[in-house]
Amino acid sequence: MSNLGFALEGAWKVLAAGLILGAGLPALFALGIRALAFGAGGDAEVNGGRPHRTGKVMAYALFAIVILGVLLGITFIVASGFGKTISFEHIVPTIVDK
Amino acid sequence: MILALVVVTALGFDFTNGFHDTANAMATSIATRALRPKTAVALSGILNLIGAFLSVEVALTVSNAVVRIQNPDGTPKESLTADGGTALLLIVLAGLIGGIVWNLFTWLLGLPSSSSHALFGGLVGATIAGLGWAGVNWNGNGSKLDGVVGKVILPALISPVIAGVVAAVGTWLIYKLTVGVAQRFTENGFRWGQIGSASLVSLAHGTNDAQKTMGVITLALIAAGDWTDTGNIPFWVKASCAVAIALGTYLGGWRIIRTLGKGLVEIAPPQGMAAESSSAAVILASSHLGFALSTTHVATGSILGSGVGKPGAQVRWRVAGRMVAAWLITLPAAAVVGALMWYLGSFVGGVAGAVVIFALLLVLAGAMWLRSRVTPVDHNNVNDEWDGEQPADEPRVPAGTGAA
């Protein structure tokens, strides 16, 4: 296979991972902020409304997912510094030798 | 003697690498005022320092991607190490000078060009001059993504597009999802998200880029016979590289920060967060998959994408065009400088030759620094409006009385 083939093969994977993590996590974060505003009620939203407790709970759940994603990123940086990488083979990310 | 010059020059390159690339992580946070300019560069500098120390793995074979001056195990080619390694040291020195000169020149123009391309370009040029065309690894051996084409050119074409698409999708989603939420909630929340994602980019930058310089210095040490272990890097090399890149980052390439933060797109916090998340995700995903790329290209692509994705945002394509032009000529231009330096150095010969090209580097760097003082860009005016005249008598805090 030529260099171009290898590059395109890699590019698809990077694009897919990028969309899930790079656009998906910010979208969850945005949802979290929306939920937070929903939870605060009043002038936090353009159309007003009463405060909702569920909004707050949802918001923090969403933020927790985002933080997990970020932790995964940090783990990967640190692991690759030590010559390790993260394997997604068993769904749950595990640190393995490169 | 030559070895000392190589080490100093390599650290110098590491330093320019740092201040050239501060913008990649922090331009958006500075432009949206999520962080004060000085705070942003300090944060980025510290994270780069940490990142550099985290890179325990040895990047000794970094030059193998583009030139053939090393064996696969990282030791220098025997033909180049006769005579105390002078032949190899001169190639590396000329290559590093090519990289630094190009980095400084693009900084003067405020263009975010890739530091890795500048380094590779300089090495390629010096190798062509020293060993001929066959000394360059153009296309790899066909078994994996390798060579100048596979490791440098293709990723440079592909990665900004990927980052741009991801950032555009992210921006679009964020704006769709937060319709109807009061601005004080979105602004504040996304500022935090942005700081977090930008920090991730800084950390990744420290691990990736400082490693390259560490590899180059260790290669020079081995060539000169001062180090033999190809599995480890001397601690002082690691420490000095980490400090050099962190100091460079802290100094801040304000000209480039300004171009990326204000020149391409007017960035709002949600866009900044989308852009930095996209950069972080693309950088980490590709290093996971062994896909070499430049932080600069990714960051620029992401910022452009965040402009495309926001409904009604304006993108200054003319500025973007200038950047792309700079990317295209980075490799050949640094190569030309590297080659010229090699010819000059080998014409004078020996230690004197190395001293002459090193002195020339100092002169060129000094001249460009003086030129930059004519129209200074620093933390005081980094966020000024991009378009429109800045009246000369506008009251402005003079440089030096600020937080500096």
* Six-digit token string for B62: 């970094």
Confidence (pLDDT) at B314: 82
- Nearest-neighbour CA in chain A from B207: distance (Å): 7
Q: CB distance from B167 to chain A under 8 Å? A: yes
Percent of chain A exceeding pLDDT 90 equals 0
pLDDT, average across residues B129-147: 76
CB A17 within 8 A of CB B154: no
Pick the closest to residue B121 from B335, B351, B271 (CA basis).
B335
Pick the closest to residue B193 from B310, B261, B284, B273 (CA basis).
B273
Confidence (pLDDT) at A43: 63
Mutation site for B-interface testing, chosen from A1, A4, A29, A43 by largest number of B Cβ within 10 Å:
A29
Chain pair A-B, CB pairs under 8 angstroms:
170
Q: Do B154 and A40 touch (CB under 8 A)?
A: no
Q: Do B270 and A30 touch (CB under 8 A)?
A: yes
Residue in chain A lying closest to B203 (CA): A77
Separation CA B378–CA B192 (nearest Å): 24
Give chain A positions within 8 Å (CB) of B142: 1-3
Confidence (pLDDT) at B395: 39
Percent of chain B exceeding pLDDT 70 equals 88
Lowest pLDDT segment from A2-11, B98-107, B161-170, B391-400: B391-400
Q: CB distance from A73 to chain B under 8 Å? A: yes
Residue A86, strand partner residues: A95
Confidence of residue A60 (pLDDT cuts 50, 70, 90): confident
Q: How buried is residue B183: exposed, middle or buried, by Cβ count under 10 Å (0-12/13-18/19+)?
A: exposed
pLDDT for residue B61 is more than 70:
no
Give chain A positions within 8 Å (CB) of B193: 26, 29, 66
pLDDT for residue B168 is more than 90:
yes
Give chain B positions within 8 Å (CB) of A51: none
Alpha-carbon distances of B353 from A50, B13, B17, B347, B356, rounded to whole Å: 77, 20, 25, 7, 5
Summarised one tens digit per residue, pLDDT across range B99-111 is 999 999 998 988 8
Q: CB distance from A12 to chain B under 8 Å? A: no
Residue in chain B lying closest to A5 (CA): B145
Confidence (pLDDT) at B150: 75
Confidence of residue B151 (pLDDT cuts 50, 70, 90): confident
Summarised one tens digit per residue, pLDDT across range B246-274 is 999 998 788 899 888 888 888 888 888 89
Separation CA B340–CA B337 (nearest Å): 5
Separation CA B320–CA B195 (nearest Å): 24
A74 residue type, one letter: I
Q: CB distance from A5 to chain B under 8 Å? A: no
**Contacting residues for B101 by C-beta, under 8 A, at least 6 apart:** B334, B337, B361, B364, B365
Q: CB distance from B286 to chain A under 8 Å? A: yes
Confidence (pLDDT) at B55: 67
pLDDT for residue A89 is more than 50:
yes
Domain positions in chain A: 3-97
Confidence (pLDDT) at B340: 92
Lowest pLDDT segment from A41-50, A65-74, B5-14: A41-50
Confidence (pLDDT) at B188: 80
Lowest pLDDT segment from B72-76, B84-88, B103-107, B113-117: B72-76
Summarised one tens digit per residue, pLDDT across range B2-59 is 888 999 999 999 999 988 888 888 888 898 888 889 999 999 999 989 888 876 665 6
Phi, psi of B387 (to 5 degrees): -85, 165
Confidence (pLDDT) at B396: 40
Q: Do B291 and A14 touch (CB under 8 A)?
A: yes
**Contacting residues for A57 by C-beta, under 8 A, at least 6 apart:** A39
Pick the closest to residue B366 from B100, B169, B148, B43 (CA basis).
B100
Lowest pLDDT segment from A24-33, A74-83, B109-118: A74-83
Confidence (pLDDT) at A47: 61
Separation CA B319–CA B192 (nearest Å): 28
Separation CA B99–CA B216 (nearest Å): 13
Lowest pLDDT segment from B14-28, B141-155, B195-209, B330-344: B141-155
Percent of chain A exceeding pLDDT 70 equals 77
Cross-chain CB nearest to A27 (options B147, B173, B207):
B173
Confidence (pLDDT) at B302: 92
Q: Do A26 and B189 touch (CB under 8 A)?
A: no
Separation CA B150–CA A6 (nearest Å): 8
Confidence (pLDDT) at A46: 62
Confidence (pLDDT) at B311: 81
Q: CB distance from B190 to chain A under 8 Å? A: yes
Pick the closest to residue A70 from A16, A29, A10 (CA basis).
A29
What mean pLDDT, rounded, does chain A reach?
Answer: 78
Confidence (pLDDT) at B15: 92
Confidence of residue B303 (pLDDT cuts 50, 70, 90): very high
Cross-chain CB nearest to A70 (options B55, B200, B274):
B200
Residue in chain A lying closest to B142 (CA): A2
Query: Vertex B324, ends B321 and B325: CA angle to 5°?
Result: 85
Confidence (pLDDT) at A92: 67
* Six-digit token string for A35: 């939920």
pLDDT for residue B227 is more than 50:
yes
Mutation site for B-interface testing, chosen from A1, A9, A33 by largest number of B Cβ within 10 Å:
A33
CB atoms within 10 A of CB B134: 10
ipTM beyond cut 0.85: no
Q: CB distance from A87 to chain B under 8 Å? A: no
Give chain A positions within 8 Å (CB) of B204: 77
Confidence of residue B217 (pLDDT cuts 50, 70, 90): confident
pLDDT for residue B129 is more than 70:
yes
Lowest pLDDT segment from A4-13, A62-71, B29-38: A4-13
Percent of chain B exceeding pLDDT 90 equals 19
pLDDT: is B2 or A92 the higher one? B2
Q: Are strands A84-87 and A94-97 parallel, antiparallel or unpaired?
A: antiparallel
Q: Do A18 and B193 touch (CB under 8 A)?
A: no
pLDDT, average across residues B197-226: 84
Confidence (pLDDT) at A44: 63
CB B21 within 8 A of CB B115: yes
The rounded Cα B234 to chain-centroid distance in angstroms is 24
Place of tokens 């390629």: B124
